Amino acid sequence: MKLYYFPGACSMAAHIALREAGLNFDLEKVDLMGGGKTESGADYASINPKGYVPALKLDNGEVLTEVGVVMQYIADQKPGSGLAPAAGTMERYRLMEMLNFITSELHKNFTPLFNPAASAEAKEAATANIKKRLAYLNDQLAGKQYLLGDTFTVADAYLATILGWCQFVKFDISGYPNIGAFAGRVMGRPSVQETMKAEGLMG
């Protein structure tokens, strides 16, 4: 497998999942800011016409996109990893529910904060939405190690990746103590440390 990624982007969640699962994979960086070429000089649009990361190229040549789907595929390659509950169980639907929430209600609201062309009003609205969503997640994490209980899943990798964006947009999470504790636990995992080093995000 090959993961196409951009450092610190949502593809980092899939990268963490690959390391947690202990799967063999290659990495190829995509220059999203400078023409959409990959490290090897390929036109990324020919690999993923959507133009964003992640994309996971499978050994049979097929390409999967969308971070929530990519991470579930990775988890299903190593069922014993605990990264996702078994397909068809209520616990798996709860995981999908959380992944969809993070994608649509949290991830999406960070977009205006990274866009220099976004209006002040758009950024204010996005910030207000993020605060509401983080308040919900802070409540969900009460008494839990991770989003679905005591087991680390791909949803935790996704949330931790997005929380990492807060420092870049100067969003203070100190008012969400359960989220702060969660972020500390996840960032301390060896897979996360290895991922950040591989993506050049830490020495």
Structure tokens of 167?
A: 């420092």
Which residues have a Cβ under 8 Å from the Cβ of 141 and sit 6 or more positions away? 147, 178, 179, 181, 182
What average pLDDT does range 81-87 have in this prediction?
A: 96
The predicted-structure confidence for 123-135, as pLDDT tens digits, reads as follows 999 999 999 999 9
Reported CATH class of domain 2-81+191-198: alpha beta
* pLDDT category of residue 30 using cuts at 50, 70 and 90: very high
Q: What is the DSSP letter of 92?
A: H
Please determine, for residue 203, whether its predicted confidence score (pLDDT) is greater than 80: no
Please determine, for residue 196, whether its predicted confidence score (pLDDT) is greater than 90: yes
- The residues spanned by each domain of the chain are 2-81+191-198, 90-189
Distances (CA, A) of 134 to 98, 177, 184: 13, 11, 16
CA distance 150 to 140: 13
Angle between helices 67-77 and 154-163 (to 10 degrees): 140
Q: What is the three-class DSSP state of 154?
A: helix
Query: Would you state the pLDDT for residue 33?
Result: 87
What CATH fold (topology level) applies to the domain 90-189?
Glutathione S-transferase Yfyf (Class Pi); Chain A, domain 2 (1.20.1050)
CB distance 64 to 58 below 8 Å:
yes
Angle between helices 90-101 and 154-163 (to 10 degrees): 20
CA distance 74 to 70: 6
Please determine, for residue 52, whether its predicted confidence score (pLDDT) is greater than 90: yes
Backbone angles phi, psi at 37, to 5 degrees: -95, 150
The predicted-structure confidence for 125-167, as pLDDT tens digits, reads as follows 999 999 999 999 999 999 999 999 999 999 999 999 999 999 9
- In this prediction the pTM is 0.96
